[in-house]
Amino acid sequence: MSTFQAPKGTYDLLPPRSATFLAVREAISAPLRNSGYGYVETPGFENVELFSRGVGESTDIVSKEMYTLTTKGGDQLALRPEGTASVLRAALQGNLHKAGLLPVKLWYSGSYYRYERAQKGRYRHFSQVGAEAIGSEDPALDAELIILADQAYRTLGLRNFRVLLNSLGDKECRPVYREALQGFLRGLDLDAETVRRAEINPLRVLDDKREDVQKQLVGAPMLRDYLCDACKAYHEEVRALVTAAGVAFEDDEKLVRGLDYYTRTTFEFVHDGLGSQSAVGGGGRYDGLSEMIGGPSLPSVGWALGVDRTVLALEAEGVTLDIPAATSVFGVALGEEARRVLFGKVTELRRAGVAADFAFGGKGLKGAMKDANRSGARFAAVLGERDLAEGVVQLKDMQSGEQGPVALTDLVDVLRSRLA
């Protein structure tokens, strides 16, 4: 075993399990690619101020969980704790909003980092696929993203997840609610840290998971009672469009987000098979974030779905993804000349688009055939010195066990035909 281990709270993705993670990323991104979303990739670290401004200094993410560093030049950087602020920054920097086509629809996939207590389903390094629709205030966009996430999960075979939906109001009506909530919270017996949080962003107190806090929140003013007419109409339109698409959801008046930039529509995907870490993804509308980070007014909406959380949800439901073998043909050569010739044929197969591997390391027939079996290949191509003299290769069907000679010159065409 190596002297070094992966840092606490992180994980390595290794075959064969890594194939499941790739399949989940593919399944989540496929509906996005099919709906006009283009791929974007951003750096793993950004200026600290991007997150302190965008995510919010009152959030645990910024105040307690962000990995920060100072460069040799004195710049303050942070490993990205979430994707939205980085993607919006990249879109603004690239002037995508000036290209004429709004909304700018983008999807991304990558690793994110938060320093928090490591536990199953909650890591310090985690993987997400996300989507952002930038530059348009349209309830159909909010609905589209909810529907696409639901489609992705159902394509994977998940069934026991729920969609929670709420509205956080906007800059017109939320301040009135904020003042009412703060007045209520000032009358509670809260610790100093929670009192400080209540003064900066009182909605975050509603998200406090501690039982003693939740008990005191009974009777707190509800945001729905403070929504302005415009926010009510917007939310009803989102609900109607999602319902018309056949996607079931639950209204959750206590659903708030741990990030300061959300407005109006907010939603979460939860899976009841994951215990306390039940959220597998979530998102919402963030109409003021662009201005917070120095850009123009660009109303936007997006979500991020956790890849590792989704894999845990699949395991909780006992869903096994149908992942095809990485190798279709495995070459086994006996003798130096046969090895040289068969390696050339394996190279030809690869160039012809056939997934092929080779018995490396000079193993004998028994050991090489064990490798062929472990690879999951459909066919093994075995070439010995006698076969070479006769211009044939022995082709074995690893499923049926049938074996027969095939002319060396025809090997590529025969295999392409049988695998078609």
pLDDT for 345-390, tens place per residue? 999 999 999 999 999 998 899 999 999 999 999 999 999 999 999 9
Residues whose CB is less than 8 angstroms from the CB of residue 313 and which lie 6 or more positions away in sequence, other chains included:
158, 160, 161, 271, 273, 274, 280
**Domains 17-173+227-317 and 329-419 in one fold:** no
Residues 145 and 301 sit within 8 Å (Cβ to Cβ):
yes
pLDDT at 129: 97
pLDDT at 224: 86
Rounded to 5°, angle at Cα 386 from 381 and 389: 100
Q: Which CATH number is 329-419's, of 3.10.20.30, 3.40.1710.10, 3.40.50.800, 3.40.50.720?
A: 3.40.50.800
Domain ranges of the chain: 17-173+227-317, 329-419
Express each pLDDT in 204-231 by its tens digit: 788 777 888 888 888 888 888 899 999 9
pLDDT at 59: 62
pLDDT at 241: 98
pLDDT at 121: 65
Express each pLDDT in 15-24 by its tens digit: 989 999 999 9
Handedness of CA 89, 90, 95, 100 (dihedral sign): negative
Among residues 171, 177, 285, which one has the least CA distance to residue 223? 177
More confident residue, 43 or 192: 43
User: Mean pLDDT score of the chain, rounded to an integer?
Assistant: 91
CA distance 358 to 343: 7
Alpha helices in 278-364 (DSSP H): 289-292, 307-317, 336-351
Residues 383 and 347 sit within 8 Å (Cβ to Cβ):
no
What band does 259 get if pLDDT is binned at 50, 70 and 90? low
Among residues 365, 410, 378, 417, which one has the least CA distance to residue 392? 410
Could you tell me whether strands 379-383 and 329-333 are parallel, antiparallel, or unpaired per DSSP bridges? parallel
Write the CATH number of the domain with boundaries 17-173+227-317.
3.30.930.10
Residues whose CB is less than 8 angstroms from the CB of residue 106 and which lie 6 or more positions away in sequence, other chains included:
37, 38, 39, 40, 87, 91, 131, 132, 134
What band does 284 get if pLDDT is binned at 50, 70 and 90? very high
